[in-house]
Amino acid sequence: MASHRRPKQPGQRFTGVLTVTAAAAVAMSTQSASADPLPDPNKKGVQAQIDRLYESATQATEKYNGAKEKAEGLQKQVKVFQEEAARKQGELNGLRERLGTVAAGQYRSGGLDPSLQLLLSQDPDSYLERAAALDRVGDRQSALLTEFLSRQRSLQQQRREATAKLRDLDSTRQELGRRKTEIQGKLREAQRLLNTLTARERARIAAEEDRANRAGARVELGDETGASPRAAAAFSAAQSRVGLPYVWGATGPNSFDCSGLTSWAFRQAGISLPRTSQAQAGAGTRINSLGDLRPGDLIIMRTDLSHVGFYAGNGQILHSPKPGAQVRYESIARSGMPFMWGVRIG
């Protein structure tokens, strides 16, 4: 039976993380727990509301991650389109200079061909699209003009595509801002609800979360065989992150959200996964039964596929579960999230 201990991590890695423990510590520093009244039975649902807000925030985080991944992809596409447009503009300028040289020679010899005159004075499309017009110029001029028109049309198409991608990028960035505001609003509301509790109640919540983190840093995983060498390498990388904090939108190496942990771990094994849990749900071979999972397989949780972790063996999931928590092992049965299916990578 294998035993896994939480690795020792520098304290500064936890800076800036919204944790229930920190909130409780602040509350207890300003109010004596011994002075608290008895727990108010009307507040027993506050913890459930906070948990729902944290769950909702993690779901919104996956949508934020998807929008961010899309924005990054669009930014790369826009750059390619703009660079290609610049290259084509350079080629077009070169052709224009060659046509200008031909026109200058004709002018000096006593006349300027009508087709070149039109080209140099206005948009030649309407003129050049009529094949009959090309019999007014020689073969060399005809080929040059035809190439110019083709390059001009290609450049115009490139610019239209770049403009469309820029509009899409702007829309996606606006969505990113909305998702970020949504997540921050849910976390603020969770903190507000937490502040309505007494110091004693906050201390109890903090103690429970601390126990969960400590218990999740050391578990018996059994001796099940890994799913594949690469999955085993990714799982090992994730194990090295036990004890590090959940931060929405984080992809490591010192903080993670759920899909941030799995995508980071597989990168260490040389495999690129999609960024979101929903996309990771379709990234490999689906395993429908919990009994068929092997250590290193991905576990997809919740009906909207908004949570992902690693199957760790012995009925355990290794994951970054929620705000205020750390990367930890947890019983799948007691995680509070329905299992949808597993995914085998590699």
DSSP per position, 97-152: HHHHHHHHHHHHTT---HHHHHHHHS--HHHHTSGGGGGGS-HHHHHHHHHHHHHH
**pLDDT number for residue 22:** 37
Contact 300, 343 (CB under 8 A): yes
**pLDDT number for residue 202:** 87
**pLDDT number for residue 105:** 54
Burial class (CB in 10 A: 0-12, 13-18, 19+), 219: buried
Verdict on whether the full-model pTM lies above 0.75: no
Active-site residue numbers? Answer: 258, 307, 319
- What are the residues facing 298 on neighbouring strands? 310, 343
The CATH classification number of 222-346 equals 3.90.1720.10
Interatomic CA distance for residues 110 and 145, integer angstroms: 21
**pLDDT number for residue 225:** 80
Q: What does the domain layout of the chain look like in residue ranges? A: 18-31+44-215, 222-346
Question: Which residues have C-beta within 8 Å of that of residue 67, sequence separation ≥ 6?
Answer: 172, 175, 176, 179
User: In the chain, what is the straight-line distance between the N-terminal and C-terminal CA atoms, in Å?
Assistant: 25
**pLDDT number for residue 240:** 96
Reading the chain (346 residues) residue by residue, the pLDDT tens digits are 444 444 444 444 333 333 433 333 333 333 333 333 444 444 558 878 888 898 888 889 999 998 888 888 888 888 888 888 888 888 778 777 776 665 565 555 555 455 555 555 555 555 445 444 444 445 566 677 777 778 788 888 888 888 888 888 888 889 989 989 999 999 999 989 988 988 998 888 888 888 888 887 778 888 888 888 999 999 999 999 999 999 999 999 999 999 999 999 999 999 999 999 999 999 999 999 999 999 999 999 999 999 999 999 999 999 999 998 999 999 999 888 999 999 999 8
**pLDDT number for residue 26:** 33
Tally of CA atoms within 13 A in the half-sphere of 279 that contains its CB: 16
**pLDDT number for residue 318:** 97
- Give the architecture-level CATH label for domain 18-31+44-215: Orthogonal Bundle (1.10)
**pLDDT number for residue 2:** 42
Select from 176, 180, 210, 187 the least CA-distant residue to 52.
187
